[in-house]
Structure 1
Amino acid sequence: MKGIVGGGVGQSRDLERVQETGPLRSAKSIRIRGLVQGVGFRPFVWQLARGLGLAGHVLNDGEGVLVEASGDERSLDLFLSRLQSDAPLLARIDQIAVSDLAGTPDARDFRILPSEEGKVATGVVPDAATCPACLGDIRNPADRRYRHAFANCTHCGPRLSILRHIPYDRASTAMAAFEMCRACRIEYENPADRRFHAQPIACPQCGPKLWFEDKDGCAVDGDPVVIAAERLGRGAILAIKGLGGFQIAVDAGNQSVIEKLRLRKHRPVKPLALMARDLDQIRDFALADAKEVALLESPAAPIVLLKKAGAPLAPGIAGPFDCLGVMLPNTPLHHLLMAELKGPIVLTSGNLSENPQETQNACARHNLAGIVDGFLMHNRDVVNRLDDSVVRQDRSGVSILRRARGYAPSPIRLPISFEGAPKVLALGGELKATFCLLDGRNAVLSQHIGDLENAPTLADYKKMLRLYLGLYRFEPDIVAVDAHPQYLSTRTGEDFARERGLPLVRVQHHHAHLAACLADQGQDQAMPGTVHAVVLDGLGWGADGTVWGGEILQGSYGGFVRCGHFRQVPLPGGEAANREPWRNLAAQLFTAFGVNYRANLVGTGLETRFAGHQAKLLDQMMQKGVNAPMTSSAGRLFDAVAAALDICPDKQGFEGEAAMRLEVLARASVAGKEGYPVEVTTSETVLLSFDKVWPALLGDLKSGVGHETISARFHQGLIDGLARSLSVAGARPSGKVVLSGGVFQNAFLRDGLTEKLETDGYTVLNHKSVPANDGGLALGQAAIAANLQAPSTFDD
């Protein structure tokens, strides 16, 4: 039997070649693992096998797809080759295992058998945007699915959002409540039809129903989509039940209604996402190159960050930011709605501020009543909540900023060295929470859930955890948590381990960031030596009990050494400093100039900022070390520089606002980017000090240098300093350097440092499939725990 190779051959030519070679028959059992359920894989196998004259059968089970096929050896060789080369668009084959069958099956044809229960090892396919064929159906007046808001086939439609358990069959989904009509049943049972065993199959006669109701819950007569479009055009705020939960929509050209939405939703400044009808409409207000277009049109259909351009939309959408978060319609309902509208809409999560997105009709009516003026509803349950994914195309590749609809829970495929590793449940962090189920080479990272400090989000996190454990029938050998003792994710993991008597592994926050990037990049457990890593984020519990955040590490999955870090400064007010940038400015100035730092502010415009009673209290905190823990945080450094440029100094409207606005300024700079002087010294560890940055920066303020130039000089100085620090820390130019942590969501910094290091000869590893922020922590925790030889049993 020949090995599996890529490349396909025309079916008729296959048969001619088979006929020439003669009938040397054999029988094979073929096990296919990966994302192979709910993607049209069985009908693909059926058509391929019949075209090659094979006999046997194919079925779904808990491990994936099982094929038994008999025929001449040349046909079987071609069959195996084309299983990989011609697989359905949404499929991902991780492994094909082939073994001989004793004897030759009696079957003379090839059949599709019912699914079998069993140990779950197959993946769950993410929800996929409407395919061109289904879009053509809903636009065709002669088609029986004309204007049907729930059209789908094996190439598109809901998957995770409606799935209750595996195997992926109709009875396992929210569609079990809808009995197929005769016409749908015929399509469903016909292997030659693209809707063969498409579990959400339905039509207007037998499928979910759509309606429009006013804010008082009264149904409105007429075409629900047309009514919704008319009301949006008149300035209404509407709730729309989307694929993974409710969304809130308004006309993107109506500034007054956008302001009303922000007021009602308590979201004063955070950018709002847009949905456009098509690429032509997007190009009216944003730039999109070929790679960005590919992201927009991919089955994941994420929100893509695009540069503003062309005709301006309402300024309230993105405010001071130079990018717009844009997506194309991802369901038939969205396509139908956008076709009725003249322009794009704002489409944001349907939730109260900071709460999870609403998924149930009754809860949406109650909780969104104070925000929206009407509801576009349907009666198909959203089983699993899914936010929209957010991505960006950088110079160094795709950055996934939020991994949810369209991407999760597609497993991250780990190197072969993870085969046979213990099963790990990793609970992630407290912000941008996710969890991870690691089983051999497959790491299933949950969708983005949110910040666990919010009680409803914590409840949703625990609900999702129970669902995934049941969905995959997952019984871990080890539980991994962040080392921070107060994280709610850590406490959840402790409880889980205690109740089941499982070993608990506490993973240092920044080591988890390093390992997450290694796993994301497919780096082997047995890789020679260690890598260096620059891990920059807001805050993480350090191995020495202090608060880390600007770290130079050397390590691997098996361990790490802290070989450098930012000079520590106070965090005056503790948690308050995370929200109020002026506190971090005071801390940086206090560290650079000493207790009399205010004398250096004359002529900068910052004098009055530190003249009040509150500033004096802050000084006392820092001098006495009261409620001012020391930190090496990179995130708080960015906040300090932003405050110096009068960027939301008193309070950030959302996490990361100050740093995001600072990055916008840097991108707008047209002057040279000679960086501020970041000192790199060494004693026990490499130390990056910013004591010389502040005199230079304040000098520029006194001289009236533009804020764009100041921001660019800060960024460039940091890039140069980080590159030098790696060299001082012993990183060799031929080696690998990991860049991780939420600060690397800053494209100016990520691209600039990547380019600098690559020019110096390093191989740079950036995140590609999981976020660099805390949304990727669980993957790193799982990879580290799986590498441990003998973790201890949980002990209070």
Structure 2
Amino acid sequence: MNPEPPDRTGRRIRVRGLVQGVGFRPHVWRLAQDRGLSGSVRNDGGGVEIDAWGGEALLDAFLAELCEKAPPLARIDSVSWSGLAGPAPDAAFEIAESAGGAVSTGVVPDAAVCPACLADVSDPDNRRFGYAFTNCTHCGPRLSIVRAIPYDRANTSMDAFPMCDDCRSEYEDPADRRFHAQPNACPECGPRLWLEDRTGPVACKAPLEEAARRIKAGQIVAVKGIGGFHLACDARNEKAVAELRLRKRRRVKPLALMAADLAGIRAYCRVSPEEQTALSSPAAPIVLLRMDGKHLAPSLVPGQDQLGFMLPYTPLHHQLLKETGGPLVFTSGNLSDEPQATANDDARTRLTGIADLWLMHDRDIVNRLDDSVVRVNTTGPQVLRRARGFAPAPIVLPEAFAEAAPVLAMGGELKSAFCLLKDGQAILSQHLGDLEEAATHAEYRKTLALYRQLYRHEPKVIAVDQHPDYLSSQWGEALAREIGARVVSVQHHHAHLAACLAGNHLAPGEERTLGLVLDGLGLGADGTIWGGEILLGDYRGFDRKGHFLPVALPGGTRAIREPWRNLAAHLMTAFGPAYLEQVPDGPLAAALRAKPLPVLDKMISSGLNAPLSSSAGRLFDAVAAALGVCFEIQDYEGHAGMALECLARPFIASETGYPVALSDSENAVISWEPLWHNLLSDVAAGVETGRIAARFHLGLIRGLTDMVAAIGASCGVGRVALSGGVMQNQILHEGLTRNLEKVGLEVLTHGLVPANDGGLALGQAVIAASSSGPTG
């Protein structure tokens, strides 16, 4: 301890950020003890408040160490201080009671098991040896177990497990890393594991080891984790993987994988330093990686060249992977299109017929959390699905939003997530799924009620998508009537643009930017269907400066599932009613002639159930169908586009792009007749499909670069934001970024908020806030 200096002065220090529920107060206490400071630390509504007395040099060093040595789950957004008058307290530095009802929740994202806890589990002399639920202040469940505020044990699913004397002693000791760790437990007092089959409990002394033995024997085990059940099987066993697909009704959609360690992933994939950082982070997401080296079961990711790997993020997972010895399929515990099972009884019911066994525990999962998905691009990590490990960490907004009226943004229909905006922060919920699924819609409403309670959020404004048929919009309008809030209707692609602007921390008044927004479908401001857009806008509004040529969607929503419909519509738009004459004889012409084209052509020409759309996603579907990829049907959203990207990747560096047509009008239009002419010529010449796919991607990149550069020059704007679900195509994303920067434009991309509809609510929230209160 440092000797007491003669010139003790006081400072009141304010720390803002993710500093509650992460061990920040004991961190402050330990630093103060080491420096010989007196005073106190407490939580309050603004974060953490510290009153500290000591010498000026000691206080300066103390301030520096607050950030430099912060706990692993803390995120410090700002530190400020002011002088304190009066004498220094005589008592030693203490952790004071929180400041009444103004204290914020302290709920942070669930975090992967830390090295110290993993060491406890691996130590035969430790009382937590082999204990699957070991955690501390630096790791373990958070959002997944919380029911209400304040965030303490009584308001979590751990209230069913009273702490033993040893755990209580740790919990109450500021010097212990388990100080106020609400899920703290041990084998004497905490949750327990057991194994079941379809007839009931399986008699065995070591449930986890028995589950591992069954997996190695080719069986499928439902494993209860932090945020839901997973279905696990041996990723090297093709028979087991094929059987899982059959039972789960997941024909070709890629399956997620878990490996014991980085070496286990590197046996099958290339892993860059940035990808290693993402894999090893407390969020422990699924990271999409390029295949390399040995092969796993062929049906894991049919038609793809990337694997989605994650590392174990609980002691249970670590022990299961250690016992099985190799990578496991670790996919969500559900039938395809259903939400992941979380409750034991629900898993017994819904996973019967899929799982052979259930590895169960008795800690309730209060809030479902799917695994987050990340990919590392040349621009950095890009979150594709934001859930476990990321939600509900707040997104700090520019200062101008600090005084905005509280906003609730409802998000979209697919990849649904909502957003609370208050006090200069945006709280984006975890990924919740497709609201057309009744169970997902019910969970969406339940989760929204919980967030409003956790964050004491009483919205004055509710933001909804302009599409009147979205269930999120309908529920938002009903809630607004119930609570007397004002409704702001936000155009879909404007919300995508605004989400990218907010994610890059652009302040109101400084954010006028071109937005290149490429996605599937969204209701346009003119009542038609948009999806390939160049907007010039900010938080307050936008102008449509360019778009893809509108093409019919014959059959409406059926055209989304059946790519051949988009192919016929694109060919008819490019070549007219005699478009089949442009298709070379061969498999493609035969496949098209086998379809009811006269009926389809009449639908298109009459506009009967064939609305026009500028969708970028449907263009990818049409090109894929022309190459015989997903011609009849695509099994999941983005299936055709992902397959097309995979085909193209080996040839991108050696090919040149197809030409496209750009109009000279004020509202620029990009159209595809020259692209289709060249593509069909290549099909006739027998050019391999991968080269054709590459030429399509490169032509689209070049055409969009020229179009955006011309619009930027005419508008005097030197910045462009890339957004929308199609921007998750890595070739397109990286190619556009590179080419747009070469022509002198600043390029903004998505990072922590998905470019797809999972980030829509953030954009809705900042747009609504900009139309309300002081920022409006």
Report the TM range for the smaller structure's normalisation.
Answer: over 0.9
Query: What displacement does 1:59 show?
Result: 2.4
Q: Could you give the per-residue CA deviations for residues 747-783 of structure 1, whole angstroms, max 9, x where no partner exists?
A: 0000001000111111100001110000000000001
* 1:314 and 2:321 aligned: no
- Find the residue that maps to 1:57 and give its secondary structure: strand
Deviations 1:202-228 (A, max 9, x none): 111111111111122224221011010
2:426 to 440, 443, 461: 443
> The residue matched to 1:340 in structure 2 has which SS?
helix
Q: What's the offset of the Cα at 1:170?
A: 1.9
Which residue in the other structure is 1:412 paired with? 395
Contact 2:133 2:316 in 1 (8 A): yes
1:312-345 deviations in whole A, cap 9, x for unaligned? Answer: 0001111110000001100000001111012110
Contact 1:606 1:644 in 2 (8 A): yes
Q: Give 1:655's match in structure 2, choosing from 637, 642, 653.
A: 637
Paired residue for 1:4?
none
Which of 283, 288, 292 pairs up with 2:275?
A: 292
Alpha-carbon contact 2:514-2:717 (below 8 Å) kept: no
Report whether the alignment pairs 1:427 with 2:419.
Answer: no
How many residues matched?
774
How far did 1:304 drift? 0.5
Report if aligned partners of 1:46, 1:111 keep a CA contact under 8 Å in 2: yes
Residue-by-residue CA offset, 1:219-264 (whole Å, 9 max, x unaligned)? 4221011010001011111110011011110111111111111111
In the TM superposition, residue 116 of structure 1 has moved relative to its aligned partner by 4.5
Q: Report 1:244-283 matches (<5 A).
A: 244-283=227-266
Output the CA distance in 2 between the equivalents of 1:194 and 1:51. Answer: 16
Alignment of 1:295-444 (within 5 A): 295-444=278-427
Alpha-carbon distance in 1 for matches of 2:606, 2:652: 43
- Equivalent position to 1:69, from 52, 63, 87: 52
Mapped to 2, the partners of 1:510 and 1:343 lie a distance apart of 43
Q: Structure 1 residues 670 and 578, CA, compared in 2 at 3 Å: closer, same or farther?
A: closer
For residues 495-535 of structure 1, the C-alpha deviation after alignment (integer angstroms, 9 at most, x for no partner) is 1111111110000000000000000011111206x211100
SS in 2 for 1:748: helix
Per-residue displacement from partner, 1:629-668 (whole Å, max 9, x unpaired)? 0000000000000000010111111111000000001102
What is the aligned counterpart of 1:623 among 581, 602, 605? 605
For 1:718, the equivalent position in structure 2 comes to: 700
C-alpha separation in 1, matches of 2:55 and 2:151: 32
For 2:90 and 2:392, how far apart are their aligned partners in 1? 37
Alignment of 1:97-116 (within 5 A): 97-104=80-87, 106-116=89-99
Q: 1:736 aligns with which of 715, 719, 726?
A: 719
| CA distance, structure 1, for counterparts of residue 581 and residue 187 of structure 2 | 74
Which structure 1 residue ranges, 5 or more long, are not aligned? 1-11, 792-796
Counterpart residue identity of residue 624, structure 2? A
Indicate yes or no: 2:761 matched with 1:778.
yes
Distance 1:657 1:586, change over 3 A: same
Q: Could you tell me which residue of structure 2 aligns to residue 574 of structure 1?
A: 556
CA contact (8 A) 2:391 2:428 kept: yes
* CA displacement 1:262-321 (0-9 Å, x = unmatched): 111110000000000111111111111111111111111100011111110001111110
SS in 1 for 2:194: strand
Q: CA RMSD in A?
A: 1.7
Shift of 1:189: 1.6
Change over 3 Å in CA distance of 1:184–1:789 after alignment to 2: closer
Instruction: Give secondary structure in 2 for the equivalent of 1:363.
Output: helix
Judged with a 3 Å threshold, the aligned counterparts in structure 2 of structure 1 residues 670 and 51 are, in CA distance, closer, same or farther, namely: closer
Q: Residues of 1 paired with 2:61 and 2:633: CA distance?
A: 64
Q: Which residue of 1 aligns with 2:583?
A: 601
Q: Distance in 2 between matches of 1:240 and 1:519?
A: 38
Q: Judge conservation of contact 2:465–2:491 (CA < 8 Å) in 1.
A: yes
Secondary structure at the aligned position of 2:411 is classed as coil
Alignment of 1:100-139 (within 5 A): 100-104=83-87, 106-121=89-104, 124-139=107-122
1:370-392 per-position Cα deviation (integer Å, ceiling 9, x unaligned): 21011111111111110000001
| Distance of 1:545 and 1:706 partners within structure 2 | 40
Of 727, 739, 747, which residue of structure 2 is paired with 1:764?
A: 747
Contact 2:216-2:324 within 8 A present in 1 as well:
yes
Report the residue type matching 2:585 in the other structure. G
Q: For the Cα contact (< 8 Å) 2:414–2:433, is it kept in 1? A: yes
| Selected match of 2:544 from 562, 567, 571 | 562
Q: Which amino acid aligns with 1:177?
A: A
Shift of 1:789: 4.2
User: What's the TM-score, normalizing by structure 1?
Assistant: 0.95
Deviation at 1:29, TM superposition (A): 3.1
Q: Is the 8 A contact 1:233 1:341 kept in 2?
A: yes
Gap change, CA 1:296 and 1:733, over 3 Å in 2: farther
Q: Find out whether 1:81 has 2:64 as its counterpart.
A: yes
Q: Measure, in 1, the Cα distance between the counterparts of 2:313 and 2:761.
A: 28
- Whether contact under 8 Å (1:62, 1:166) holds in the other structure is no
Task: Give the CA deviation at 1:62.
Answer: 4.0
Counterpart pick for 2:142 among 153, 159, 183: 159
Q: Aligned in 2, Cα 1:60/1:166: closer, same or farther, shift over 3 Å?
A: farther
- TM normalised by structure 2 equals 0.97
Q: Output one character per residue of 1:351-405: Cα deviation in whole Å (capped at 9) or x when no partner.
A: 1221111111111111111210111111111111100000011112111110101
Q: Which residue of 2 aligns with 1:525?
A: 508
Identity %: 56
Change (3 A) 1:730 1:99: closer
String of CA shifts for 1:78-98, please: whole Å, max 9, x gaps.
322322222111101223343
Greater mean deviation of Cα atoms: 682-691 or 694-703: 682-691
- Report how far residue 730 of structure 1 moved: 3.2
Q: CA deviation at 1:101?
A: 4.2
Q: Which residue of 2 aligns with 1:3?
A: none
CA contact (8 A) 1:135 1:332 kept: yes
CA contact (8 A) 2:522 2:529 kept: yes
- Structure 2 CA distance, aligned partners of 1:524 and 1:661? 38
For residues 444-495 of structure 1, the C-alpha deviation after alignment (integer angstroms, 9 at most, x for no partner) is: 0000000111111111111111111111111112100101111011001101
Q: State the SS of the aligned residue for 2:215.
A: helix
**Secondary structure of the residue that 1:730 maps to in structure 2?**
helix
CA distance in 1, matches of 2:31, 2:337: 50
Deviates more, 1:31-40 or 1:197-206: 31-40
Letter in 2 for 1:652: Q
Which of 665, 683, 692 is matched with 2:665 structurally?
Answer: 683
Shift of 1:418: 1.4
**Residue in structure 1 matched with residue 770 of structure 2 by the alignment:** 787
Measured after TM superposition, the shift of residue 28 of structure 1 is: 3.3
Q: Matches of 2:52 and 2:182 in 1, distance apart?
A: 25
Secondary structure in structure 2 of the residue aligned to 1:406: coil
- Which of these residues, 471, 486, 505, is aligned with residue 488 of structure 2? 505
**Corresponding residue number in structure 2 for 1:8:** none
Cα shift at 1:694:
0.6
Secondary structure in structure 2 of the residue aligned to 1:355: coil
For 2:308 and 2:275, locate their aligned partners in 1 and report how far apart those are by CA, in whole Å.
Answer: 12
User: 1:123–1:411: 8 Å Cα contact kept in structure 2?
Assistant: no
Amino acid at match of 1:668: P
1:539 to 521, 534, 553: 521
Aligned equivalent of 2:19, options 15, 36, 39: 36
Aligned in 2, Cα 1:604/1:120: closer, same or farther, shift over 3 Å?
farther
